[in-house]
């Protein structure tokens, strides 16, 4: 028997199993679309469909063995024979187990204002009209990587803004928001999916699964990087009285490169002022010829703690003003704030840092639950709806328009996504210009038609500030 987790026929909602019996007689085409209907962020970074297609849809995904397996599950689940055995067997016999559907989507990484179509799905065999929307359950899961990529990018924009205002360079931006979210994810799979979505925007991560997903599904040899770092257990096992020895051990074990040391196990102020700033000061400075010590506070009110830690370190190690008049620690000392970091908290921390006349270049951030978990499908109001069908040889514009919620009005007819004069527009009712359509065929009849690299995705998602800097640098 096959693994249940690999059976496409079981990767759907129960009620969809009976939908082949519910369409009007003579239905031959069902055409549906996915969009962000609104939400927290005004634009959406589209990402993750390629993973779903490669993982679930490419090649022979329907077999007699899997049909028998699905039939057995559904017979027990419904206590009735409702499974579309004949329809799935038709796909095996007629199409060799390959899915007769076409998916058109915006390029992965593209940033599209909400309320616009992001991808469409339709069956390519009139006998398989029921297949389009049975795939909804699986395809809609693109909401998760899309929303993580969207939130991560929004945080990148915040950090870039403060770097532009208070730093001489934005070169460190790709490593300013580090993914700490593996342990808080609901599974290794979700960590890989969400973690790779974050890497669309940044290059710092401790989520190994993200690297594997970026390589497996987007051909990226190494999408992210990390550094040696302590956790509380590797410090506190030395005992409170020997915390300074634990710190010294970190410097000795990692004599070059970046190394991060959590320093709030007992008293962050004492650790920064007495241990790092006095007892270990000479060693920190000496090591600075080969690397940088990153001191990590991990508790308390982030804006208050970050500024106070900077002030203490500035007193101990000195500062220099940059060209914009903001203070910089020596290059061998930096801090990493990894507690309480999310989209809503970043700006407050960076504003406090700026108001204290510190450059944002002194600090990097780590985020776990706030990056990969504090979001859901409604964050960007993601939805998949049928908008066109052909019944008895006639085209039908399909839509919903609930009197109780006009925010759920769906689009009608065949769709194109067009871009003119700086604006994205979803053209409905089949009135669009195919030559202007941004939707690209990515999957058709069991084959992946377009295979995006991670570099392409990253370039599509890049924020304007970075692109402008590149242009300015190239013109010099």
Residue 3 has pLDDT above 70, yes or no: no
Structure tokens at 6: 């690999």
User: CB atoms < 10 A from the CB of 269, how many?
Assistant: 14
Q: Check pLDDT > 50 for residue 1.
A: no
pLDDT tens by residue, 73-124: 999 999 999 999 999 999 999 999 999 999 999 999 999 999 999 999 999 9
Which pLDDT tens digit goes with each residue over 197-211? 999 999 999 999 999
Residues of 154-190 as b/e, b for ≥16 C-beta within 10 angstroms? bbbebbbebbbebbeebeebbbbbbbbbbebbeeeeb
Containing H/E element for 369?
helix 369-372
pLDDT at 2 over 60: no
229 burial level (CB within 10 Å; 0-12, 13-18, 19+): buried
Does position 328 have pLDDT exceeding 70, yes or no? yes
d(CA 12, CA 18): 11
Paired tokens of 161: 């803004």
Q: Choose among 245, 291, 307: nearest CA to 271.
A: 245
Question: Do the beta carbons of residue 454 and residue 219 sit within 8 Å?
Answer: yes
Look at residue 106 in the predicted model and tell me its pLDDT: 98
In which residue are the tokens 């040391």 written?
Answer: 261
Task: Give me the phi and psi of 35, to 5 degrees please.
Answer: -150, 165
**Residue 106 DSSP label:** P
Q: What are phi and psi of 388, to 5 degrees?
A: -155, 145
Give the residue from 111, 118, 123 showing the smallest Cα distance to 49.
Answer: 118
């Amino acid at each position: 028997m096959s693994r249940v987790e690999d059976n496409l026929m079981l990767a759907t909602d129960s009620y969809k199993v009976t939908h082949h019996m519910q369409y009007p007689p003579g239905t031959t085409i069902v055409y549906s679309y996915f969009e962000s209907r609104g939400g927290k962020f005004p634009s959406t970074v589209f990402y993750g469909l390629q993973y779903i297609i490669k993982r679930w849809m490419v090649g022979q995904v329907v077999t007699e063995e899997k049909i028998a397996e699905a039939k057995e599950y559904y017979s027990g689940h419904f206590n009735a024979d409702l499974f579309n055995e004949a329809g799935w067997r038709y796909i095996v016999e007629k199409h060799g187990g390959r899915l007769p559907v076409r998916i058109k989507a915006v390029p992965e990484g593209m940033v599209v204002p909400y309320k616009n179509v992001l991808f469409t799905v339709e069956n390519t065999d009139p006998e398989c009209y029921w297949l389009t929307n049975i795939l909804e359950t699986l395809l809609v899961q693109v909401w998760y990587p899309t929303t993580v990529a969207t939130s991560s990018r929004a945080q990148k924009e915040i950090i870039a803004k403060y770097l532009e205002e208070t730093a001489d360079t934005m070169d460190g931006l790709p490593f300013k928001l580090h993914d700490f979210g593996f342990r808080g994810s609901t599974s290794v799979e979700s960590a890989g999916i969400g973690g790779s979505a974050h890497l669309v925007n940044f290059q710092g991560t401790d989520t190994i699964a993200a690297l594997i997903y970026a390589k497996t599904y987007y051909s990226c040899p190494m999408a992210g990087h990390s550094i040696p770092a302590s956790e509380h257990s590797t410090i506190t096992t030395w005992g409170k009285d020997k915390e300074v020895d634990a710190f010294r051990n970190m410097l000795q074990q990692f004599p070059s490169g970046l190394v991060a040391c959590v320093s709030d196990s007992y008293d962050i102020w004492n650790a920064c002022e007495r241990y790092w700033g006095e007892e270990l000061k000479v060693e920190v400075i000496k090591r600075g010829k080969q690397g940088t010590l990153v001191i990590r506070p991990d508790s308390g009110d982030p804006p208050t703690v970050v500024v106070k830690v900077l002030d203490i370190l500035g007193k101990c190690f000195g500062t220099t003003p940059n060209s914009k008049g903001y203070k910089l620690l020596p290059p061998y000392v930096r801090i990493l704030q990894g507690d309480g970091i999310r989209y809503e908290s970043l700006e407050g921390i960076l504003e406090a840092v700026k108001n204290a006349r510190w450059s944002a270049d002194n600090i990097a951030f780590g985020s776990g639950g706030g990056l990969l978990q504090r979001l859901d499908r409604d964050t960007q109001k993601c939805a998949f709806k049928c908008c066109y069908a052909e019944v008895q040889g006639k085209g039908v514009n399909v839509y919903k328009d609930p009197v109780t919620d006009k925010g759920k009005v769906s689009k009608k007819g065949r769709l194109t996504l067009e871009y003119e004069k700086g604006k994205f527009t979803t053209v409905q009712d089949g009135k669009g210009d195919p030559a202007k359509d941004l939707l690209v065929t990515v999957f058709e009849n069991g084959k992946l038609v377009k295979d995006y690299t991670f570099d392409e995705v990253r370039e599509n998602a890049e924020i304007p500030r970075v692109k402008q800097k590149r242009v300015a640098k190239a013109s010099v």
